[in-house]
Structure 1
Amino acid sequence: MSFTALHRALGVPPGPWTEDLLDAAVAAGVMETNDLDWKTNLPPAKGLSQTDFPKDVAAMANSGGGVIIYGVCESQKAAAGRMDAGELTEVYERSLRSVAITAISPPVFGLNIHSLGTTGNRAVVVEIPASVDGPHLIYRGDYFGAPVRNDADTVWMKERQIEAMYRARFEERRHATEALDALFTDVSAGRDMHKRAWLMGVAHPRVPRLSERLTREGARAVLNQTEKLALKYASRRGMHPLENVDMLNPRPGLRRWVCVNTATSERSRWKEAWLAIHHDGSVSLAAAVGGHPTPEAGPGHFDGHQIESYAIECAVADLMALLRATAEATSNDEYDLRVGIEWTGSEPLAILTKDQIGFTYTDTSTPLHRFTPVATTVNAVEPDLDYFWHVHDLAQDCVNQGGVSYVHLICPPERDQ
């Protein structure tokens, strides 16, 4: 589902791209604007970084996002007719995305590219998301410049404009940090961290998309997809927090859907978990990871400060699966993310791993008097394999803090396969 300047100009609701939209734009003579640009042909694949494509993408990103449509000719800035834009192959599409990353600084991620029509009447739509990383710069000969849209034209920013955009970027980063802080504080509230360690994971879209709130059925669909992804990222050999929340009956909260804990008996409280899908596309998860059972040593539990690495891996897999499924449902892409382990007891945290036979041991554990939260930015709609590696690297960063070198459950295929 898309809602762009063209949808707005035609007065149509969000929806998929179709040829009817382009035909209607031509019939109505829709004018180019800050966030809509008509182009006749796709730029040549050879030397793509030297064409106007990087400049056009950077200008749209610097102007709050927009859409470039190839395959429409214009007259006096108005759509005047359809043309054949050229073939959009898989290799060419990858080249477009690559140039937006390599020829623009900082990179522009999250391009949505659509192909419409058949030979003789082909069109290609490139959606450029709004960005909080401006100004985006490109080379102008021997130096950098920052392009920006000025109504239907692309011009170069003046020094004061560049200065103002840098100031806005730093301010936005401050707001993003505050948003993560608020989410983290919220999800941490009420946990018995003096008895057992808890893993808290939160993620907030860098530029929240304005979309309709998820219905209960929509939230259930997100959770169903989350479960499938989580088991793809990490097997059932560990305890997934998702297994201990009510995913069939998400309950309304303050601008969110909440999956409440189902591990309420005295025997099952060790696996307590909570998660939430927020209406702005944010997600949060809290899972008790300390004090899990010690099956190989007979009845009993680890102490509250002792955490199996498997528990961390499963919690990270579930959080990242929830993030990806929510992003797809809410049309969000880039997220700021933070994972922390909270423990207020007197003993230092110990992250435990397993030997080749499957027995838990502590020989490699490094005592942690404080777990440093792991923060990163992730493109939640990037290709499956790239995202899978983000899941792996995030889990590895978490267990590395406790002296554990490797993850065991999260094993993505090699990138070149």
Structure 2
Amino acid sequence: MARSWTRLHEFLGYPPGPVTYEMVAEAVQRKLGEGDDLDWKEALPATSPVPGQWNEFAKDVAAMANTRGGLLIYGVSDDIAMVGIDLDKVNDKQLGHWLRVHLQPTVSGVSYLRLPATDGSGKDVLVVDVPASEMAPHFLYGWQQRDKDKTTFNAPFRHRDDTDYMAEHQIALAFRERFARQDAAKTALDEHVQHTTDLVLGESESPAAWLVVAARPTRPIPRMVPALSRSAAQDVMSRGAKRARGLLARAIPIPRMLGPQLFPDLLDRNPRKGLRRWVDTNMLVPARATRRRGVLVELHHDGTVVTAVDLSHNALPPSHPAVPLPVPSPVLISSVFETVALAHEHRLTLRADTPIELRAVLQTQPGTGLRFAPVVFDLGRPVVAEWARQPRTVQPAHSDLAPFADDESLIAGATDLAEGLLNQFGLDILPT
């Protein structure tokens, strides 16, 4: 998925959006020079020989990914003139294969944008959009004749308008930065979960089982990218709810397992501004107190999504003996699927080509000593699963989503996350 903000947008003064042929043509006409995030290429990458031989395309992609990401634009000469290429000769599967064969680790999220000429010139171009990589440094290996025909294993990077190779101290620094990014991402996810947990538990007048799910891009959206408008945030929520219903129907084709949907029934999709986020909730406004299940949804400007839902609310009929912390498995499952679908729709709207890390926790007010009691449906009626475990604490569950997740991948990620919690009760998503 191509990024929505590139050097072309910045130079031309365009708002975020897809790169177009007109943008490339205008940049060429205005002689936009190369930089560490832009490389004009006259001809398409040459057909690669056998694996193990030097691959110039892989080198160029690794250099961009090791720096800050950027564009390789084929069909523009070194003196910045439009010469065009034959789009019929573009084989993005072959290009992707070269990256997997020649780079370690491979660079993910590279997109290939074919742009036919719209001015009648017939000078088509190919834009290869390389994202900044959270897995940098990427190493290129192969036989290099200009290096006395010996095998090389180097980490290329962009320096202004040129490509160079990292020295030992630069490689060491790149690895430290990678590990620091990973630690910072984990810390940020922990902070989101902890802040939301503290918030909703503080709003609960009596002990309840709260499910908190956080989904955070491993590469957050830069602050320069404009935040979603309120109407766009509403649209993300609507599309997320619709997608979640479809995913649930495919994953659990048993009507009695489907719990109440989180967003359509419990929220009016009326988000309000928060601290660099949109917040939709039926709590926190005393004048609009409700007897409905407590729900909180946050769409952060950096691509993070956080949800919280009071699972214990009306989990059992009034005639049922009192259970301090009931945890209805259908509501838990549907809430997790809702969050995964919402995070995916949010990512699509922001045009973020990045994996998403997921974390789900089940919490109640500290010091209660109460046990979580799983609730299942038996003949269409909610009952406590007496045969299941009833722990006092539940470990956090983790999962992730690939950058270009299809519905099957979304189902797998949501299932993995929900089962990470349910398995601790001895339950599965599907009844046995």
- 1:74 counterpart SS class: coil
Q: 1:160 to 1:229 in 2, by over 3 A?
A: same
- Equivalent residues of 1:197, 1:342 under 8 A apart: yes
Q: What's the CA shift string for 1:2-25, capped at 9, x where partnerless? A: 221233333433333222222223
Percent identity, aligned pairs only, is 29
Of the structure 1 ranges 374-383 and 154-163, higher mean CA displacement relative to structure 2 is found in 374-383
Q: What runs of 5+ residues in structure 1 fail to find an aligned partner?
A: 409-417
Q: 1:185 to 1:312 in 2, by over 3 A?
A: same
Q: Which residue matches 1:414? A: none
- Equivalent residues of 1:203, 1:337 under 8 A apart: yes
Q: What runs of 5+ residues in structure 2 fail to find an aligned partner?
A: 144-150, 250-254
Q: Which residue matches 2:227? A: 213
Q: 1:196 to 1:5 in 2, by over 3 A?
A: same
- Equivalent residues of 1:233, 1:317 under 8 A apart: yes
Task: Give the whole-Å Cα distance in 1 for the aligned partners of 2:264 and 2:312.
Answer: 17
Q: Which residue matches 2:312? A: 290
- Equivalent residues of 1:339, 1:375 under 8 A apart: yes
How many residues are matched?
Answer: 398
- 1:67 counterpart SS class: strand
Equivalent residue in structure 1 for 2:177, among 157, 160, 168: 168
- Equivalent residues of 1:291, 1:307 under 8 A apart: no
Q: 1:10 to 1:257 in 2, by over 3 A?
A: closer
- Equivalent residues of 2:200, 2:308 under 8 A apart: no
- Equivalent residues of 1:6, 1:25 under 8 A apart: yes
- Equivalent residues of 1:193, 1:342 under 8 A apart: no
Q: What's the CA shift string for 1:296-353, capped at 9, x where partnerless? A: xx84477243323212211111111111121122233323332111134423334444
Equivalent residue in structure 2 for 1:261, among 282, 287, 292: 282
1:370 aligns with 2:393: yes
Q: Which residue matches 1:116? A: 115
Q: 1:96 to 1:402 in 2, by over 3 A?
A: farther
Q: 1:100 to 1:362 in 2, by over 3 A?
A: farther
Q: 1:10 to 1:336 in 2, by over 3 A?
A: same
- 1:38 counterpart SS class: strand
* Structure 1 outlier segments of 4+, above 6 Å: 355-359
Code of the aligned partner of 2:315: P
TM-score, with normalisation over the residues of structure 2?
0.81
Code of the aligned partner of 2:358: L
Q: 1:6 to 1:243 in 2, by over 3 A?
A: closer
Q: What's the CA shift string for 1:249-300, capped at 9, x where partnerless? A: 212222221111279544x4xx3211111222221100112354346xx844
- Equivalent residues of 1:260, 1:274 under 8 A apart: yes
Q: Which residue matches 2:148? A: none
Code of the aligned partner of 2:158: R
Task: Give the whole-Å Cα distance in 1 for the aligned partners of 2:245 and 2:18.
Answer: 30
- Equivalent residues of 1:200, 1:339 under 8 A apart: yes
Of the structure 1 ranges 160-169 and 200-209, higher mean CA displacement relative to structure 2 is found in 200-209
TM-score, with normalisation over the residues of structure 1?
0.84
- Equivalent residues of 1:244, 1:261 under 8 A apart: no
Task: Give the whole-Å Cα distance in 1 for the aligned partners of 2:101 and 2:312.
Answer: 43
Task: Give the whole-Å Cα distance in 2 for the aligned partners of 1:320 and 1:387.
Answer: 7
Equivalent residue in structure 2 for 1:315, among 335, 339, 342: 335
Code of the aligned partner of 2:16: P
- Equivalent residues of 1:338, 1:375 under 8 A apart: yes
1:240 aligns with 2:242: no
